[in-house]
């Protein structure tokens, strides 16, 4: 198997990205779920780089004849999932922010005890 420079560099970059993601989990900056997804994404990039013939199977699986189009459609689906996930997370953060602001406002107004009863 003859490796090109890209087939050497891309898996190394992928490995560094995966290690960085898990380092963030250890430092409690990211969740395990995010690191797993990051690992899956960069692992897929490394796998496709090392085994480009896999794209043929992906095109057969999706029913799209052109391999490049199969990759684009697959990654667009992944990106749509990520956008959906981010929207859900953003809504959760907005709800938490509203709750915190409400509690601070009630505390400053001296109405905190009335709300708890």
**pLDDT for res 41:** 86
* Mean pLDDT of the 102-108 span: 92
For the chain, the average pLDDT equals 85
> How confident is residue 45, by pLDDT bands cut at 50, 70 and 90?
confident
Convert the pLDDT of each residue in 53-99 to its tens digit.
Answer: 888 887 788 787 777 777 787 778 778 878 878 888 899 899 999 99
Distance CA 45, CA 91 (A): 30
CB neighbourhood size of 11 (10 A) = 18
pLDDT at position 96: 94
52 alpha carbon, distance to own chain's centre: 23
Q: Is the pTM of this model over 0.75?
A: no
């Amino acid at each position: 198997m003859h490796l090109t420079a890209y087939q050497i560099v891309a898996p190394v970059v992928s490995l560094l990205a995966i290690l960085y993601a898990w380092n963030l989990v250890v430092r409690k900056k990211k969740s395990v779920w995010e690191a797993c997804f990051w690992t899956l994404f960069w692992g897929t990039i490394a796998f496709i780089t090392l085994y480009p013939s896999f794209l043929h199977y992906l095109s057969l699986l999706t029913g799209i004849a052109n391999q490049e189009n199969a990759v684009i459609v697959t990654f667009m689906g992944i990106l749509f999932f990520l956008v959906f996930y981010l929207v859900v997370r953003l809504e959760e953060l907005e709800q938490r922010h509203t709750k915190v602001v409400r509690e601070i406002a009630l505390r400053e107004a001296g109405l905190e005890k009335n709300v708890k009863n």
